[in-house]
Amino acid sequence: MLKSVDMSQQKLYRLLRDEKTIWVLYLDIIKFHEVEFRYGYKICRQILEEIEREISQTIKQQRNLYLFSHFESRGGDDFVVYFVPGKNIHWNITEVIEQWVLPMEERFNRRIRKLVNEKISLRSGLAQCVNEVGRSADYLLYAAVKEAFLLNKSEPDPHFFARREEITHLVENPDKYLKAAFQPIIETRSGEVFGHEALARIPGSICFSNIADLFPFAEKIGQLYPIETLCRRQAITSYANVVRNKEMLFLNINPQVLIDPEFASGHTRKLLSEKGLAPTDVVLEITERSAIEDFSTFRDALDHYRNQGYLIALDDVGAGYSSLQSVAELHPDFLKIDRSLIQGVNADPIKWALLETFVTFSKRIGCRVIAEGVETAEEMRTVVQLGVDYVQGFFVAMPTFERESINPAALEILDPVRRLKSIDHSPILSMVEPLPLFDTNALVSSIETYFREHPHQWLVGITENSRIVGVMQRDRLFSALGTRYGVSLFLEKTVPIIMDTNPLIVEDTTPLEVVSSLAMQRSDAQLYDGIIVVNQHKPLGMVSVANLIKAISERQIQFAQGANPLTGLPGNLRIDQEIRQHLERGLTFGLIYVDLNKFKYYNDLYGFQQGDVAIKMLSEVLLNESFKSAGNTFVGHIGGDDFIIISSPSDLETLAVNILAQFEHSCKQLAGTENLSVALACLIINTNDQSWTTLLVSERAAQIKKEVKAMGGNSFLLR
């Protein structure tokens, strides 16, 4: 038997080398384990013998149609049939199921009527094997059998051969069929474009109108690496059409591709260099289409690319295989929150809480959060309010082949002056919680069902023409339905019959003190009802009285202290106020943007507590040296390892030199600080030279910071 199989395989190899095509058909019995359960092992053994006889007899009867044919059992109910079609065959590979499998299945079922009283169905997977230069015959045949096996075990695809042909054209002529589109990712603090995600597109495609179908199919037929390589090349080649000012390029990478020899060999790095890019300009966006099974090996691969300068983003966080374990094991630089969590986040308390948790978590581990798939103004306001670092989505800009302008409505939400005024005069915005909305045509029964399915939700809003016209309290609804005739009176009526038409509604610009006063003036029955927050009569969410009281207390303390909780230094609000006051007074002043180099690495290596010690040590150095300077010097803590110093222009250079010296001396008291250094971006703002704004100051300082960080070590740069 083995000798026969070997001879048959050798025959197939020879035919393949002679440029003949081989059809590989993988067959098994659908739900054979259930058949065995119903009839037992002995009957199933006879069924398998009968199918072997039928396949063998069918091949003999049709011998004149093929140059060669052969079948083999793969164990159990799995069989592989090989055909080398000849000139006499009257069907092509797309018709094998209809012309060969189905008739054979019918004859096989006639054979086993004496054994079972039901029809046994066969499942098919079909692949085509052709000779390829540089590939051995045994490899090609093995790959074809594997492909047929995968197709057999997956859902039937009526467009399989058309899709495969389209991928063949794409691989052979990528410049004609494959293009790269780019979608901007903007920074919430400044509104500036931080980078662009490269997205593959196949204009005019019939089989892959949804590009998401391309990669799973390519993986199924063993073409994932070539396809991803081509997409990557097209993205890098086309990026010059959209990039400005060293914006980052986000490249989607399947985890398995990172161990691809072609990727690891430096071809990608060479292509980047040819296009004027470096690994430090690229974020590798890990798309987990399949689970990462060996985190240790994968982490080693990531470290290899990190050492070259690439940054790492974990995609699809909150969906699919992307788990907290991935975050813990891989230490990404960015978390990209999946669209499934962003969609409707403004009105969904669970999504709201999850996103807030991710933001808080990311700040603790020194990571940055990107909200992707933002499609509405409400979603945009919510993700910005919750503190995400970057935003991407149709509301910001659509993916295009050329550079796309950012939606002005999105930039208005991000406008730092507007946001600062909102914080100053309307801190109510920072307390808004999602408010589920129902139309006035909704039945009371639908709200009753909603409350039962969401036991922690106690208030919903009622809208008409997108404007809030009332609310429904959980307790009052169930109290009304609990009366003797409550169910019959209310349940199948529309909601206006029972809703509260006089809730407290405030605009988002209403000062906090006014909101508090209005809330406390209500009747005892309404005193603890939720407060509805709107923007031009359109609902943004609601605020609970408990959170209102808590926020008033916390904010009074915060404004009294004006301090960062870790270092006790003034925080962002005070920093913005200080810069704005200098600009409004027309004063020339010096500014130092202070940032620790490699702090994330240090934090990961020595832990959060030691990281906090390093930040406190730096804050003490900044304070001590600032006190020694002749003029009034302001020191603020932006957050994390970022600080701001505002000082006299004449003191700036001396102050920077002293800070570097004192920092180097203080580092000797901490473990592992050979891994730490400080970068000082020094800027002199002369209000007579140009019309400075707080945003322009921030942008200019950030540019200088990039330059000085690239210098490495303890260094400063004065502009």
CATH of the domain at 340: 3.20.20.450
Residue 405 has pLDDT above 90, yes or no: no
Q: Domain boundary at 534, 554, 574, which?
A: 554
SS3 89: coil
How far is the C-alpha of 22 from the C-alpha of 96, rounded, in Å? Answer: 13
Neighbours of 158 (CB within 10 A): 8
Inside any domain, residue 164: no
The answer to whether residues 401 and 538 belong to one domain is no
Q: Which residues contact 662 (CB under 8 A, 6 or more apart)?
A: 621, 624, 625
Write the burial class of residue 555 (CB in 10 Å: 0-12 exposed, 13-18 middle, 19+ buried).
middle
Instruction: Tell me the whole-structure pTM to 2 decimals.
Output: 0.54
pLDDT band of residue 1 (cuts 50, 70, 90) is: very low
CA distances from 268 to 234, 260, 281, 682 (A): 11, 11, 13, 36
Residue 567 token pair: 């270092």
User: Which has the closest alpha carbon to 137: 282, 309, 16, 258?
Assistant: 16
The answer to whether residues 142 and 108 belong to one domain is yes
Inside any domain, residue 346: yes
Q: Domain boundary at 419, 439, 467, which?
A: 419
pLDDT computed for residue 563 by the predictor = 66
Lowest mean pLDDT, pick from 130-134, 284-288, 416-420: 416-420
CA distances from 184 to 149, 194, 221, 344, 592 (A): 41, 8, 32, 21, 29
Neighbours of 399 (CB within 10 A): 17
How far is the C-alpha of 175 from the C-alpha of 202, rounded, in Å? Answer: 10
Inside any domain, residue 343: yes
The answer to whether residues 545 and 653 belong to one domain is no
The answer to whether residues 127 and 179 belong to one domain is no
SS3 647: strand
Residue 265 has pLDDT above 70, yes or no: no
Residue 585 has pLDDT above 50, yes or no: yes
Residue 260 token pair: 């691809």
Strands 179-187 and 79-85: unpaired
pLDDT computed for residue 74 by the predictor = 87
682 vs 512, more confident:
682
The answer to whether residues 101 and 130 belong to one domain is yes
pLDDT band of residue 291 (cuts 50, 70, 90) is: low
- Count of structural domains within the chain: 4
How far is the C-alpha of 670 from the C-alpha of 52, rounded, in Å? Answer: 75
Residue 418 has pLDDT above 50, yes or no: no
The answer to whether residues 462 and 396 belong to one domain is no
Cα dihedral: 484, 489, 491, 497 (round 10): -120
pLDDT in tens, 507-550: 777 777 678 878 888 888 788 888 998 876 678 888 888 888 87
pLDDT in tens, 588-619: 899 999 999 888 888 888 888 888 888 989 99
Residues of the chain above pLDDT 90, percent = 26
The answer to whether residues 535 and 625 belong to one domain is no
For every residue of 143-165, DSSP letters joined together read HHHHHHHHHHHS---TTHHHHHH
State the chain's mean pLDDT as an integer: 84
Gyration radius of the chain's alpha carbons: 33
| Residue 448 structural domain | 428-554
pLDDT computed for residue 699 by the predictor = 86
Strands 504-507 and 467-473: unpaired
pLDDT computed for residue 292 by the predictor = 61
AA letter at 343: Q
pLDDT band of residue 67 (cuts 50, 70, 90) is: very high
How far is the C-alpha of 686 from the C-alpha of 680, rounded, in Å? Answer: 19
pLDDT computed for residue 195 by the predictor = 93
The answer to whether residues 145 and 204 belong to one domain is no
Inside any domain, residue 107: yes
Q: What's the whole-number mean pLDDT along residues 655-669?
A: 89
pLDDT computed for residue 540 by the predictor = 84
The answer to whether residues 456 and 549 belong to one domain is yes
Strands 368-372 and 122-129: unpaired
Inside any domain, residue 403: yes
How far is the C-alpha of 201 from the C-alpha of 174, rounded, in Å? Answer: 11
What DSSP state is assigned to residue 24? E
Contact, 312 vs 286, CB < 8 A? yes
Q: Which residues contact 247 (CB under 8 A, 6 or more apart)?
A: 193, 194, 195, 196
3-state secondary structure 580-615: HHHHHCCCCEEEEEEEEECHHHHHHHHCHHHHHHHH
pLDDT computed for residue 216 by the predictor = 76
pLDDT computed for residue 203 by the predictor = 84
E strand or H helix that includes residue 73: strand 66-73
Contact, 22 vs 15, CB < 8 A? yes
The answer to whether residues 244 and 379 belong to one domain is yes
Q: What's the whole-number mean pLDDT along residues 248-256?
A: 85
pLDDT computed for residue 417 by the predictor = 41
Residues of the chain above pLDDT 70, percent = 90
Lowest mean pLDDT, pick from 5-9, 133-137, 447-451: 5-9
User: Which has the closest alpha carbon to 514: 540, 488, 543?
Assistant: 543
Contact, 404 vs 398, CB < 8 A? yes
How far is the C-alpha of 392 from the C-alpha of 370, rounded, in Å? Answer: 7
For every residue of 513-576, DSSP letters joined together read HHHHHHHHTS-GGGTTS-EEEEETTEEEEEE-HHHHHHHHHHHHHHHHH---TTT----HHHHH
Q: What's the distance, CA 322 to chain centroid?
A: 9
Identify the CATH number of the domain in which residue 443 sits.
Answer: 3.10.580.10
pLDDT band of residue 554 (cuts 50, 70, 90) is: low
pLDDT band of residue 425 (cuts 50, 70, 90) is: very low
Residue 3 has pLDDT above 50, yes or no: no
Inside any domain, residue 165: no
How far is the C-alpha of 377 from the C-alpha of 388, rounded, in Å? Answer: 15
Core vs surface per residue 448-481: b (16+ CB within 10 A) or e: bebbeeeeebebbbbbeeeebbbbbbbebbeebb
pLDDT computed for residue 421 by the predictor = 41
Residues in the chain: 719
Inside any domain, residue 605: yes
pLDDT computed for residue 259 by the predictor = 64
Identify the CATH number of the domain in which residue 702 sits.
Answer: 3.30.70.270
The answer to whether residues 120 and 56 belong to one domain is yes
21 vs 639, more confident:
21
Q: Domain boundary at 97, 123, 156, which?
A: 156
Inside any domain, residue 2: no
3-state secondary structure 203-217: CCCCCCCCHHHHHHH
pLDDT computed for residue 375 by the predictor = 94
The answer to whether residues 251 and 388 belong to one domain is yes
71 vs 585, more confident:
71
For every residue of 432-445, DSSP letters joined together read -B---EEETTSBHH
pLDDT computed for residue 446 by the predictor = 94
Residue 321 has pLDDT above 70, yes or no: no
Cα dihedral: 59, 65, 66, 71 (round 10): -10
Residue 462 has pLDDT above 90, yes or no: yes
Neighbours of 133 (CB within 10 A): 4
Q: What angle do CA 15, 20, 23 make, to 5 degrees?
A: 95
Q: What's the whole-number mean pLDDT along residues 391-418?
A: 84
